Amino acid sequence: MLLGMSTATLAHRLHDPLTELRIAVAADALVPPVPRPVTGPLPMLRLLRQLRINALPTWAEPAYELDIVERPFLGRTSFLINAPEGIRRVLVDNAEAYGRTPATIRILAPMIGDGLFLATGEAWRRQRRLVAPAFAPRALDLLARVTDRETERAIDGLRRGGLGAVDLLGFVQRLALEIAGRTLFSQAMTAHREAVREGIAAYGERWARPGALDFFLPDGWPAPQDWLRRAGAQKWRRTLARIIAERAAVPPSDPPADLFDVLRSAAGDGDAPFTEAQLADQIATLLLAGHETTALSLFWSFHLLASAPQVQALVAAEADEVGGATPTAAEVLASRPVALAVVKEALRLYPPAFTIVRVALRDDVVMGKPVPAGALMVVAPWVLHRHRKLWAEPAAFDPGRFMPGAPPVDRYAWLPFGIGPRVCIGAQFALVEATLVLSRMLARFRVEPVDRRPVLPVGVVTVYPERNPAFRLVPRR
């Protein structure tokens, strides 16, 4: 065993990962910069404009200390909820009394239709039952195998392209799309990659930004931007239809070859299988929700580690220790605690889904406050993850918080995937994928920033970098 180890491994064997990580965190002392919060409540027009540009600074300092913040918003009341008791009431215990907001539906429906993310009531319950098998442990092992193979392939491509100034954001977006495509359809995405990425990028840039009417009009009331958004999503929907037609031409196999087979044959007790249109919405939902968010969590993990060389060295040492055999999903998570902790810390500091918003469908009482039907209930991971009552040194990069042996994190303080019945169905998927890619990449390369200019996060639908920095990759062996 020892004979098979590299010198680097011998020099760096992790004996007590938590202690070593704490030492590395202290040496790196990284506090990543963020946009400066507004100094007080913004007038409505400025708030609406800011939400289209970057929502992250719109919460003023007190929001990071209070349990609940109430403010008027276009004729309704909006509540920002930070306290575990309030979050539990809205997202878990009385979740049935809250629904997706008309703005969320208007913005996302043209891209993902009535799939699992936007469905409500009995239709949602049925979809969740039908989709669940696609995320069972066997499917996660398929994901681990695909991730392993595709990451190695992508690393070969990186070497051919030169390592001096690498666009890691583009790299992880292409890789995450390839992994999503292969686990969903067993197909290479090469032929469709540009069309898929362009479809998503164009929609994000032009149509995903919220406007006043999105917040103002009740669901179902027509607005000009609904039509424009449907037109804007055409390219994405047409590309998806082509991918689905190619895959559907291959007969189902038993056991299922991929998630498409699972979804195509899905039928729970007394449930009819999905119709073609429902299957298309489901695929659109999983492909979009699945790869963009995971790619962002990987980008932010690399970005943080590029400025935290000591922690990065520990992730690399851990990767050396576990070696190159293809792991199961459970092994990915159990044998790479440092890489997993880095991914979780990146999800804390840069939660891709920075707000989880609901509308009250009926009157309720939350934390002693009367909540009228129509009120907006906001749980904002961006705020929650930096809340001063819930975290020690909230602005500092410290993956040690998520290590085995560290004091447990409050269940309601870290919610990158939400919580309750509508918790992200792909959470394990994302953690396995991001942890394995990070570990494999850092086994091969040291990641360094090419320049030291700050990279600020921007929040519009997801949290992405204000500029796309280049990274230098230095081969480790």
Nearest CB to ligand HEM, comparing residues 174 and 317: 174
For residues 286 and 461, which CB has a smaller minimum distance to ligand HEM in the complex? Answer: 286
Q: Which is nearer to ligand HEM, 25 or 296 (CB)?
A: 296
Q: How far is the CB of 143 from ligand HEM (least distance, A)?
A: 9
Shortest separation between residue 358's beta carbon and ligand HEM, angstroms: 8
Backbone φ and ψ for 375, nearest 5 degrees, come out as: -65, 150
Question: Least distance to ligand HEM from the beta carbon of 300, Å?
Answer: 10
Smallest distance, Å, CB 442 to ligand HEM?
A: 18
Q: Tokens 């303080």 appear where? A: 413
Of residues 133 and 309, the one with the C-beta less far from ligand HEM: 133
Nearest position to ligand HEM, beta carbon: 426
**Cis omega before residue 255 (within 30°)?**
yes
Whose Cβ is closer to ligand HEM: residue 288's or residue 442's? 288
Nearer residue to ligand HEM within complex by CB, 313 or 437? 437
How many Å apart are CA 13 and CA 368, to the nearest integer? 52
| Smaller CB separation from ligand HEM, 28 or 385 | 385
Question: What share of residues in the chain are helix, strand, coil (percent, to 5)?
Answer: 55, 10, 35
Beta carbon of residue 46, minimum distance to ligand HEM (angstroms, whole number): 27
Structure-block tokens of residue 243: 């991918």
- Decide: helix, strand or coil at residue 367: coil
Per-residue tokens: 402 = 């998520």
- How far apart are CB 177 and ligand HEM at their closest, in Å? 12
Which DSSP symbol is given to 357? E
Cβ–Cβ contacts within 10 Å for residue 46, how many?
Answer: 12
Task: Retrieve residue 430's tokens.
Answer: 């994302």
Q: How far is the CB of 423 from ligand HEM (least distance, A)?
A: 6
User: Is 9 or 186 the residue whose CB approaches ligand HEM more closely?
Assistant: 186
Q: Report, in Å, the least distance between residue 313 CB and ligand HEM.
A: 25
Q: 351, 379, 345, 375: which is closest to 363 by C-alpha?
A: 375
Give me the least distance between CB of 182 and ligand HEM, in Å please. Answer: 12
Nearer to ligand HEM, 176 or 447 (CB): 176
Omega before 110 within 30 of 0, i.e. cis: no
Question: How many residues are given for the chain?
Answer: 477
Task: Output 223 or 409, the one with its CB closest to ligand HEM.
Answer: 409
Nearer to ligand HEM, 120 or 190 (CB): 120
- Smallest distance, Å, CB 419 to ligand HEM? 7
Contact of 222 with 109, CB cutoff 8 Å: no
Q: At which residue do the structure tokens 């995937």 appear?
A: 417
Contact (Cβ atoms closer than 8 angstroms) between residue 392 and residue 66: no
Kindly list the residues in this chain that would bind ligand HEM in the complex (CB under 6 A).
91, 116-117, 128, 285-286, 289-290, 293-294, 297, 352-353, 356, 416-418, 422-426, 429-430
DSSP readout, 420-451? STTS-TTHHHHHHHHHHHHHHHHHHEEEEES-
Q: In sequence order, which ranges of 162-192 are alpha helices (DSSP H)?
A: 168-185
State which residue, 115 or 469, has the beta carbon closest to ligand HEM: 115
Least gap, CB of 267 to ligand HEM (angstroms): 18
**116 near 401, Cβ under 8 Å?**
no
- Residue 259 corresponds to which tokens in the numbers above? 């998630």
Place of tokens 């044959």: 265
Give Cβ neighbours of residue 304 (< 8 Å, ≥ 6 apart): 30, 32, 342, 345, 346, 349, 397
Phi, psi of 358 (to 5 degrees): -130, 155
Q: Is residue 119 classed as helix, strand or coil in its secondary structure?
A: coil
Pairwise CA distance, residues 82 & 97, whole Å:
19
Q: Tell me the closest approach of the beta carbon of residue 121 to ligand HEM, in angstroms.
A: 12
Burial level of 245, CB count in 10 A (0-12/13-18/19+)?
exposed
